[in-house]
Amino acid sequence: MKKAMISQPMGGLTKDEMLKIRDAAKAELEALGYEVLDTIFPSFDNEFGLMDPDHIALLHLGKSLEEMAKCDLVYFCEGWQDKRGCRIEHSAATAYGIKVMYQGK
């Protein structure tokens, strides 16, 4: 089965808002025959003892890129271009020839 991941803005959203967006994207991808990899990771705060949110975001980005290596497609939710992590994921996907898809297109 083809695999996909979702790149979505998360900053400033509640967990419920974030999951609502993700669930809609996941349903769209599954209807197209993709298995969607979960890229919402538990916090690394305790494991690494970091308090700086930018460092934690960087750890999550690294894990997302690791999951991207398993994907055939990356789905970008609206607003991706406004978020640093999503832009990096987009650059990686296009640089490595992974198909991209945009919400609403």
Domain boundaries, the chain: 1-11+41-105
26 pLDDT band, cuts 50/70/90, is very high
92 pLDDT band, cuts 50/70/90, is very high
Tens digit of each residue's pLDDT (9 = 90 or more) over 36-88: 998 877 665 555 555 566 677 888 899 999 999 999 999 999 999 999 999 99
What tokens were used for 29? 């991808």
The residues, ordered by sequence, that sit 6+ positions from 50 with a Cβ below 8 Å of its Cβ are 44, 56, 59
Determine the pLDDT at residue 58.
84
pTM of the model: 0.87
